[in-house]
Amino acid sequence: MSQMLTLRPVAHIETDFKDKFGIPRQSGRVKTLVGRIVFEEEFRDPEALREIEGFSHLWLIFDFSESHRDGFSPTVRPPRLGGNRRIGVFASRSPYRPNPLGLSVVKLERVEHTAHEGVVLHVSGVDLLDGTPIYDIKPYLPFADAIPDALGGYAAQHEGHRLKVEVTQEQLSVFPEEKRRALCDCLAEDPRPAYQDDARVYKLRFAECEVAFTVEGETLRVQSIERK
């Protein structure tokens, strides 16, 4: 028997990404990328977070809020596979799913008690768009959730791929120190879909700025960083 489940966000996350382009494809890939998890008003009871400080990492169940589609497609085209190879949607982490739910693991950096937002969780290693609704938060259990000999399928071939990033200190000066490293780490992950390998100028939004860059071979060169 089919049953319907109504979900409501318990929180949302604040990050430096206002657009999808450039967001790391997996959580934990860019450990320097940080976020703030702010709870919805009805869930701001600090008792709901009692003893959360004892965990170093958290699972986030979230809404792919910018990827909602009508209908169901059994296959998807992962960008990392060039966009021309179809695989099963349930053999992928594509945001285009029957239920647009995502799962990410993040590091809990600290717990902040504020006067206006209640308890705020500061996390790192995020891969989420600014404002993403969070449906649930669960502690990561290393003795149960980590499987050292697990297989990564087709995704494993891209595990170590990183670009060399060329950017000047003058260009980076528009950011505070902690955001400079995060931007460079995100760019090194190669934001482009695998099927785009040309000399065009790409642009991504990061922390209220537009970053323009080109890629030649294994080198990414930042052309400009401008406040928008």
Distance CA(219)–CA(222), nearest Å, equals 10
Same domain? For 129 and 43 the reply is yes
Final residue in a domain of this structure, among 118, 145, 172:
145
The per-residue pLDDT for range 148-176, each reduced to its tens digit, is 999 988 888 767 788 999 999 999 999 99
Q: Is 87 inside a domain boundary?
A: no
pLDDT at 153: 87
Listed range (77-81, 129-133, 220-224) with the worst mean pLDDT: 77-81
Same domain? For 32 and 136 the reply is yes
pLDDT at 179: 95
Same domain? For 135 and 185 the reply is no
Rounded to 5, what percent of the chain is helix, strand, coil?
20, 30, 50
CATH of the domain at 29: 2.40.30.70
Same domain? For 171 and 215 the reply is yes
Q: Is 84 inside a domain boundary?
A: no
Same domain? For 56 and 167 the reply is no
Final residue in a domain of this structure, among 112, 145, 178:
145
The per-residue pLDDT for range 85-144, each reduced to its tens digit, is 899 999 998 899 999 999 999 999 999 999 999 999 999 999 999 999 999 999 999 999
Is pLDDT at 197 greater than 70 in this prediction?
no
pLDDT at 79: 74
Same domain? For 135 and 28 the reply is yes
Residue type, 160: G
Same domain? For 137 and 33 the reply is yes
More confident residue, 193 or 54: 54
Q: Is 2 inside a domain boundary?
A: no
Residues in the chain: 228
Same domain? For 112 and 19 the reply is yes
Q: Is 83 inside a domain boundary?
A: no
How many domains, the chain?
2
Who's near 180: CB < 8 A, 6+ residues apart? 172
Q: Is 6 inside a domain boundary?
A: no
Q: Is 89 inside a domain boundary?
A: no
- Cβ atoms of 143 and 149 closer than 8 Å: no
Q: Is 61 inside a domain boundary?
A: yes
Same domain? For 117 and 217 the reply is no
Give the three-state DSSP class for 142.
helix
Can you give the residue range of the structural domain that contains 141?
Answer: 11-65+100-145
Same domain? For 27 and 129 the reply is yes
Same domain? For 139 and 36 the reply is yes
pLDDT at 72: 87
CATH of the domain at 217: 3.30.2310.20
pLDDT at 81: 73
Is pLDDT at 1 greater than 60 in this prediction?
no
Its pTM stands at 0.91
The per-residue pLDDT for range 47-74, each reduced to its tens digit, is 999 999 999 999 999 999 988 888 889 9
Final residue in a domain of this structure, among 145, 180, 209:
145
DSSP H stretches of helix in the chain:
142-145, 169-172, 177-188
Q: Is 46 inside a domain boundary?
A: yes
Same domain? For 116 and 185 the reply is no
**Mean pLDDT for the stretch of residues 188-209:** 86
